[in-house]
Each structure stands twice: as C-alpha cells, then as structure tokens.
Amino acid sequence: MISNEKIQEMMSALGELKAAKEQEIEELRVKWLGKKGEITQLFEEFRGVSPEQKKEFGQKLNALKNAAQAKIEEMKAALNDIADAGKASFDLTKPGDRMDLGARHPISITREEIISIFKKFGYSVAEGPEIEDDWHVFGALNFPPEHPARDMQDTFFVHPQGDNPILLRTHTSSVQVRTMESSNLPIRVICPGRVFRNEAISARAHCIFHQVEGLYIDKNVSFADLKQAILLFAREMFGPDTQIRMRPSYFPFTEPSAEVDVSCNICHGKGCNICKGTGWLEILGCGMVDPNVLRASGIDPEIYSGFAFGMGIERIAMLKWQVKDLRHYFENDIRFLKEFETVI
Ligand code: DAH
C-alpha cells in the first residue's frame, strides 16, 4: 500500500542501484518504470488516496519517478564512458606517447669518455677531496712559497691561517700527490674532479670547472712514453687523423714541461675561426714529474721517473662540440642540455 515509508524506502533503494551491462539497465527500467513496474504500481494505488493526502503523495511520487529516470540515464551515461575509455586504450594502432627522457650532461659525457680511453690504456681512476690543504695543492708540487697561484686572487681559502692553510683545490694535481703518498709503485692513474679558482665568470673562464689529471710512474718512463700516451689519447678523442704538437712550457711540478695542441678537428689544420687561423687547438699541459715532487711524496727519483698531464674537461667538451661559451655548461638551460640527448 502506498505510504511515506514505502516511497522513502524506494528512494533509498534507487541510490544503491548498479548495472554493468545495457541489458541490466533495461531490466531495472522495466522493474521500476515499466507498465507493471513498482513506481507505475504506486501511481495506480495513488488513485485511491484520500483527497487531503493527494497533494503530498503526488509530489513525492513524482519526485520518485524523476529520480528513477535520472538514475537510469546516469547508469547509461556511465556505461558509455567506460565503453569510450575502453576503445581508446585498446586501440593498438594508436601511437604511444613519447617519453621525455633526460640527457646526460655534456661534461659527464666528456669525463666518461676520457676515463674510458685511459682505462683502455691500463689507467685506473683515483679521486681526492675538493677541500684540500696547501701541502697537497702547492707545497708537495714544488710551488715556491711566493708563487702567485697561492695568492688570494686565485685561490679560495677555507681556513687561510697556519703553515698548512685549508683551501678549495685549484687543480686535480693534488690527487697525484695523494696517490703517490698512498699507492705502491708503479702508478698509472687518472684523476677526474672539480676544481675552484677565484676568477671572474666569462665565456672563457669560470670559478668552478673540471679537470682530469694523469700520472704514470715506473722505472725508465721517458718523455717519448708521454708523447705516445697523449697522441693515442688525442686520436681516440678527436679522430684517427689527429696530429699533436708539443710546445715547451713551465709548470713547477714537471721538468721538462710542455703544452699540447691538437690539429683543429674543424678545419683539419687549414685554419678557421675556432683555431683562430692557426690550425691548432691547445688541449692540455704535461711534463716529466719533477724530482722534487717525487721526493716530497717519498719516491726515489734515482730509481723512478714518471710523467703527468692535466686537462680541462670543459675545454675538451667545447672543442668536441664547438661550444663557444663556457657558461652554457653551468646554466642548465634545458634547450642546451637537450642537444646532448642523442649522445650515448
Ligand atoms: N695542474 C695544471 C693546471 O691546473 C695542469 C697540469 C699541467 C697538470 C701540467 C699536470 C701537468 O699534471 O704536468 O693548469
């Protein structure tokens, strides 16, 4: 019999309805709103309701009928949404979304390449601290006490007082000292790392950059061995036709010392704006380890000799990819970094 409770109960039952298929929705529609449906039934009974109750029941019945119709429509719409979503995810011909992969930083790529070349020659990797003392950065490397590199102008000091000030290393040559102090002979290492110098930032200079130091110590190591090692490296790095030339130079920790140029990999020696018309590009400094340096680390220069070299990773990377402004490497502009996405 029609009653407030009955209508209320049916209203709550409506809220609970669920259907997974079109057919089930149709069955529910017939059950509720069909010719013999429950709501239709109530409308039949409504005829017998007393006139004073007609208004109240009339409104409630209409609300129930509207709610039932809305519920049926809602279930149909939900089913359509699922069908559409299903179609989209199962369209096997649709191309996948491109994944935006990150790229390695060009300095990392270059460092790894330098390391892998020297590993092939039998070198292992050694590392040391970025915060160093004066002894490992200067003293043991035969820098005279008044050498300008020790000056505040070039070096960032962490703790400038005392006879062995603490500072940020200005070159990775400090790692050769640590290696000589702690390793058995012979030694064949490369030392990649970050270095710090108090320089104004420009297209050609930065206060933080990266170097790779190399050190080879054994009996009977000669300048010819140094030259051969550098030539093999240059050819692996810049291509098999690369030539090198050595110019006499000076470093406190090597004697004799040289700077090494490679033939310009852009114009192949003809002269262009990258090599400033000379056909040559400077890549590193090197030399035979000074006997004073060997002695400072407890190695007898009468028995052992060795060579060392040091190069800037940014510089090698600039030459390799013709990057004209050093600052690109530090600004992390995604448009620059993305250019290296395809370099494996
Ligand atoms: N330490 C030098 C620099 O920072 C680079 C260098 C030159 C390293 C000659 C060496 C070398 O080992 O033999 O500029």
Residue 100 placed within a domain:
no
Rounded CA gap, 25 and 17, in Å?
A: 9
Is 254 found in the same domain as 216?
yes
Determine contact, residues 173/203, Cβ cutoff 8 Å.
Answer: no
Q: Whose CA is nearest to atom 5 of ligand 1?
A: 310
Are 189 and 309 in a shared domain?
A: yes
Q: Could you tell me which of 53, 57, 81 has the C-alpha nearest to residue 7? A: 57
Shared domain for 208 and 302, answered yes or no, is yes
Per-residue pLDDT, 99: 81
Residue 112 lies in a domain: yes
> In this structure, is residue 95 part of a structural domain?
no
Any idea what the CATH number is for the domain that residue 126 is in? 3.30.930.10
- The protein residue whose alpha carbon is closest to atom 2 in ligand 1 is 310
**Same domain membership, residue 165 and residue 63:** no
Number of domains in the chain: 2
Q: Are residues 45 and 154 in the same domain?
A: no
Is residue 155 included in any domain, yes or no?
yes
Ligand 1 atom closest to Cα of 173?
1
CA of 141 relative to ligand 1 center, distance in Å: 10
Q: Are residues 80 and 208 in the same domain?
A: no
Q: Are residues 319 and 233 in the same domain?
A: yes
In a domain, 125, yes or no: yes
Quick one: pLDDT at residue 56? 85
290 lines ligand 1 (CB under 6 A): no
Out of 24, 58, 88, a domain closes at 88
Range(s) of the domain holding residue 29: 4-88
Whether 155 and 47 map to the same domain: the answer is: no
CB atoms within 10 A of CB 240: 6
- The pLDDT, as a whole number, for residue 151 is 78
Give me ligand 1 centre to Cα 196, in Å. Answer: 14
Is 69 in the same domain as 148?
A: no
Is this prediction's pTM over 0.75?
Answer: no
Single residue among 27, 60, 88 that ends a domain in this structure: 88
pLDDT of 192: 98
- Tell me how far the alpha carbon of residue 258 lies from the centroid of ligand 1, in angstroms: 10
User: At residue 178, what are phi and psi to the nearest 5 degrees?
Assistant: -60, -40
pLDDT, one tens digit per residue, over 283-321 is 999 999 999 999 999 999 999 999 999 999 999 999 988
| Contact 312 CB / ligand 1 (< 6 Å) | no
Are 167 and 205 in the same domain? Answer: yes
Q: Is any ligand 1 atom within 6 A of the Cβ of residue 213?
A: yes
Q: Does 101 fall in a domain?
A: no
| 123: amino acid identity, one letter | Y
Q: Are residues 53 and 165 in the same domain?
A: no
Identify whether residues 112 and 201 lie together within a single domain.
Answer: yes
In the listed set 23, 56, 88, which residue is the last one of a domain according to the structure?
A: 88
Low-confidence ranges of the chain (pLDDT < 70): 85-90, 344
- 169 touches ligand 1 (CB under 6 Å): no
Cβ contact 189:125 at 8 Å: yes
Tell me, using a 6 A CB cutoff, whether residue 111 lines ligand 1. no
